[in-house]
Chain A
Amino acid sequence: MIPFLALVRKDLKLFFNDRKAVIVGLLVPIVLASFFGYMFGGQSGKAETSRVPVLVIDQDGSGISRGLITQLASDKYLDVKPSTLDAAREAVRKGKATVAIVIPKDFGENKPQLGVLYDPSHNVELGMVRGILSGAVMQTVSKEMFTGIGGREMVNESLGQIENNPRISAQDRKALRHLLGGVNELNEQREREGESGQGAISGGLTMPYDTREQAITSGKDIEYNGYAHAFAGMGIQFILFMGLDVGIALLTLRQSGLWQRLRAAPLSRTMLLGSRTVSASLIAGFILLVLFGFARVVFGVHILGSFAGFVGVCAAFSLMTAAFGLMVAALGETVEATRGYSIMATLIMVMLGGAWVPTFVFPAWLRKLTVVVPTRWAMDGLDGMIWRGLGFSSALAPIGVLLLFTLLFGVVAVMRFRWSTE
């Protein structure tokens, strides 16, 4: 037991002796997690997104086009400014505006065609603007139809055409006369009500429903904390990098006199690799502790689910990382080549695990594929225990899968490790 403890203690001592490396190793994930956490909603869980810059070119200059511009400008997601066609085209090309809407002359007659110039790198915003524009047009046009002068003129004109058109049957004429007469009657009534300030649909037609949004978090009145996912993700990423460093260090050690000295001592191979696993796991646990300690104190991230489950997921992930490091050392040929391959493997694991962005943004096939990525299980486990507020039973699957990966990586490491210093 004395040699085993000495091996573990030595690894920890070497890690903590390099204070600059420890500080940088903790500071970088904290800074990145803070940034990502802020971007993904911060403590309130509501991301402060900037308004989409939209330019409007009003070639019509009518009441209905001005109404449409007013309607668009009132939307909280848009930053609407008037422009000319050439200036708008140039602004979109240079990325200063995301979308430019061209309201053509005679807008409101027949079926108008609204021009939309957009920046192709902002497809998501284009979709949003298109939706807002549809609502605004519907509201503005219907308002004009029922309360505007143009709408009344159109109804009167249509009534005249019905009376003079011999191809319309008497029955149809009666029905249309009744319909348009009703619109006229309604318009007159609205005009009277408008004068007294009580127009019920004077604002035009709107969506026939309202939405009531409710975030389902761990409990009532508990808001989603964007930092929770960010700190879990960055913690996982940097611990994987730490595991990688363990592997590279072992590879370097194997080529050194220190390795010969260790191998000359009466120590078993299990002890040499086992002590590395334990020390790397303890270091990983320490990093997670500091990260989540910081997240709790500064950003109010709490473990809303099972604390035991949280500890279990952290421990299983730490072990998996240590075994991953050993596997890197076992499979690596040269330090330089191994560093390149393993950094790539680590980044893929981090990315597919959802540590950067949640996995729901992935295509369905990729989401299915991520079940073979250990980081995905670690992320699910941590998210579940931290902000989803799930119980210990929900941690069992991630813990089990992570331990299976630990076993797999460990077996590969032991089988493929080159012990001889040839």
Chain B
Amino acid sequence: MLEVKQLAKNYGKLIAVTGVSFRADRGETIGLLGPNGAGKTTTVSIIAGLLSPDSGEVLIEGKQVKSDTDPVKLKVGLVPQDMALYDKLSARDNLTFFAALYSLAGAKAKQAIDDVLNLVGLSDRAGDKVETFSGGMKRRLNLAAALLHDPQILLLDEPTVGVDPQSRNAIFENLEALKERGKTLIYTTHYMEEAERLCDRIVIIDHGKMIANDTLQGLHKLLPVTNVIAIDLVHADGFKPEQMLALPEVKSAELIEGTLRVGVHDLSRGAPGVLRWLAENGHSYHHVSSEQPDLETVFLTLTGRNLRDS
């Protein structure tokens, strides 16, 4: 279990991280979501023991990392954002070296290397130099190197940057497999769809501050509307969407290229009322569908100027 309590880190006058707190249990995936420079990497670096916080603490299985050689570090695996591999060495030589950093040698190391190569699907390229790998293969090997010592907590700092969709999927499958094995994953990203797909809870960081920490469903509740009803009108000319705001369930309404988009909090109560109103007022339609706002909407809403100003 990982506990992060009120982390703060400044670089001179620049506040890198302030008031970041969250907790990650066994088998749980926490997403650290934020734009570039938000403080995600600083948070991960503090958890990995690369940086000391100015205040706050990180507890790994209830213990703090007290020195460079603290055995608590064995419980953590780090996948850095930058590729952390030796291009001139083969994949196996790279993994042999990284295994040795955790005092793994001989048959034990060989077994660990075979396991991680198998997990990331690179067993057949083990003897090839890393410089011959594609970007996606390097990313997978980068992940494999962090798993050699079988850490309970895996810190993944934007592990899919610059990879093709196929390799990204392969990495997601690897991570899902690890999650099934009960590993705790801390996943930083600025890709909303990654956080939506992988994370049980999402911590949103902006300008070093934690502005939300909840499940995806919980974050949706922070929005003014949690559902959008999209209605393709037969005759959109002259239709005034603002008149729908008179309905009690309707929170927003707009007409874009013949499609009426109506925002409601409760779909089961809001949709019948909206459709009834259209019928009563003589507006026919071709097609009706419902949409849930994605995490991008949540993020933009939470970090937008209006929200911060309010």
Binding site for B on A (CB under 8 A): 2-3, 5-7, 9-10, 13-14, 17-18, 256-258, 260-269, 420-422
Ordered nearest first, which 9 A-B pairs have the shortest CB separation? A6-B100, A257-B82, A257-B80, A257-B84, A265-B101, A264-B78, A261-B84, A260-B80, A266-B73
Q: Kindly provide the distance from the CB of A262 to the nearest chain B CB, expressed in whole angstroms.
A: 7
Binding site for A on B (CB under 8 A): 11, 45, 48-52, 68-71, 73-74, 76-78, 80-86, 88-89, 93, 96-98, 100-105, 142, 145-146
Q: A2, B68: Cβ atoms under 8 Å?
A: no
Q: A10, B80: Cβ atoms under 8 Å?
A: no
Q: Kindly provide the distance from the CB of B270 to the nearest chain A CB, expressed in whole angstroms.
A: 49
Given the known interface contacts A2-B105, A3-B101, the answer about A264 and B88 at a Cβ–Cβ threshold of 8 Å is no
Given the known interface contacts A17-B88, A256-B84, the answer about A264 and B51 at a Cβ–Cβ threshold of 8 Å is no
Q: A267, B101: Cβ atoms under 8 Å?
A: yes
Q: Kindly provide the distance from the CB of B14 to the nearest chain A CB, expressed in whole angstroms.
A: 10
Q: How far is the CA of A9 from the CA of B97 in the complex (A)?
A: 9
A257 to chain B: which residues have CB within 8 Å?
80-84, 142
A3 to chain B: which residues have CB within 8 Å?
100-103
Q: Kindly provide the distance from the CB of B125 to the nearest chain A CB, expressed in whole angstroms.
A: 18
Q: B88, A18: Cβ atoms under 8 Å?
A: yes
Q: A261, B78: Cβ atoms under 8 Å?
A: yes
A18 to chain B: which residues have CB within 8 Å?
88
Q: B89, A260: Cβ atoms under 8 Å?
A: no
Given the known interface contacts A18-B88, A260-B80, A422-B11, the answer about A266 and B45 at a Cβ–Cβ threshold of 8 Å is no
Q: B69, A17: Cβ atoms under 8 Å?
A: no
29 contacts between A and B (CB under 8 A): A2-B100, A2-B103, A3-B101, A5-B100, A6-B96, A9-B97, A13-B89, A13-B93, A14-B86, A256-B84, A257-B82, A257-B84, A257-B142, A258-B85, A260-B48, A260-B78, A260-B82, A261-B78, A261-B80, A261-B146, A263-B68, A264-B76, A265-B73, A265-B102, A266-B71, A266-B74, A266-B102, A267-B69, A268-B68
Name the CB-closest residue of A to B76: A264
B48 to chain A: which residues have CB within 8 Å?
260, 263-264
Name the CB-closest residue of A to B106: A2
Q: How far is the CA of A266 from the CA of B96 in the complex (A)?
A: 16
Q: Which of A2, A261, A420 contacts B98 (CB 8 A)?
A: A261
Q: Kindly provide the distance from the CB of B78 to the nearest chain A CB, expressed in whole angstroms.
A: 4
Q: How far is the CA of A257 from the CA of B130 in the complex (A)?
A: 15
Q: How far is the CA of A422 from the CA of B45 in the complex (A)?
A: 9
Task: Pick from B49, B86, B100 the residue with the most CB of A within 10 Å.
Answer: B100
Name the CB-closest residue of A to B83: A257
Interface of A is mostly: helix
Q: How far is the CA of A258 from the CA of B89 in the complex (A)?
A: 13
A267 to chain B: which residues have CB within 8 Å?
68-69, 101
Name the CB-closest residue of A to B129: A17
Q: How far is the CA of A2 from the CA of B77 in the complex (A)?
A: 19
Q: A14, B73: Cβ atoms under 8 Å?
A: no
B74 to chain A: which residues have CB within 8 Å?
266
Q: How far is the CA of A256 from the CA of B80 in the complex (A)?
A: 9
Q: How far is the CA of A21 from the CA of B100 in the complex (A)?
A: 27
Q: How far is the CA of A269 from the CA of B67 in the complex (A)?
A: 10
Q: How far is the CA of A266 from the CA of B70 in the complex (A)?
A: 6
A420 to chain B: which residues have CB within 8 Å?
50-52
Q: Kindly provide the distance from the CB of A252 to the nearest chain B CB, expressed in whole angstroms.
A: 12
Q: Kindly provide the distance from the CB of B41 to the nearest chain A CB, expressed in whole angstroms.
A: 9
Q: B45, A260: Cβ atoms under 8 Å?
A: yes
Given contacts A2-B100, A260-B84, A422-B51, 17 further A-B pairs with CB under 8 A are A6-B100, A14-B89, A17-B88, A17-B89, A18-B88, A256-B84, A257-B81, A257-B82, A261-B80, A261-B101, A263-B48, A264-B48, A265-B73, A265-B102, A266-B69, A266-B74, A267-B101
Q: How far is the CA of A9 from the CA of B85 in the complex (A)?
A: 16
Q: Which of B70, B84, B100 contacts A258 (CB 8 A)?
A: B84
Task: Pick from A3, A9, A256, A261 the residue with the most CB of B within 10 Å.
Answer: A261
Given the known interface contacts A14-B88, A258-B86, A268-B68, the answer about A6 and B80 at a Cβ–Cβ threshold of 8 Å is no
Q: A261, B76: Cβ atoms under 8 Å?
A: no
B52 to chain A: which residues have CB within 8 Å?
420
Given the known interface contacts A13-B89, A260-B78, A422-B51, the answer about A266 and B100 at a Cβ–Cβ threshold of 8 Å is no
Q: How far is the CA of A117 from the CA of B105 in the complex (A)?
A: 78
B105 to chain A: which residues have CB within 8 Å?
2
Q: Kindly provide the distance from the CB of B249 to the nearest chain A CB, expressed in whole angstroms.
A: 51
Given the known interface contacts A6-B100, A17-B89, A257-B81, the answer about A263 and B69 at a Cβ–Cβ threshold of 8 Å is no
Q: How far is the CA of A387 from the CA of B122 in the complex (A)?
A: 56
B45 to chain A: which residues have CB within 8 Å?
260, 421
Q: Which of B50, B77, B101 contacts A6 (CB 8 A)?
A: B101
Q: How far is the CA of A267 from the CA of B49 in the complex (A)?
A: 11
B76 to chain A: which residues have CB within 8 Å?
264
Q: How far is the CA of A6 from the CA of B89 in the complex (A)?
A: 13
Q: Kindly provide the distance from the CB of B38 to the nearest chain A CB, expressed in whole angstroms.
A: 16
Q: A256, B82: Cβ atoms under 8 Å?
A: yes
Q: Kindly provide the distance from the CB of B130 to the nearest chain A CB, expressed in whole angstroms.
A: 12
A7 to chain B: which residues have CB within 8 Å?
101
Q: How far is the CA of A258 from the CA of B81 in the complex (A)?
A: 10
Q: Kindly provide the distance from the CB of B240 to the nearest chain A CB, expressed in whole angstroms.
A: 56
Name the CB-closest residue of A to B72: A266
B145 to chain A: which residues have CB within 8 Å?
261
A268 to chain B: which residues have CB within 8 Å?
68-69
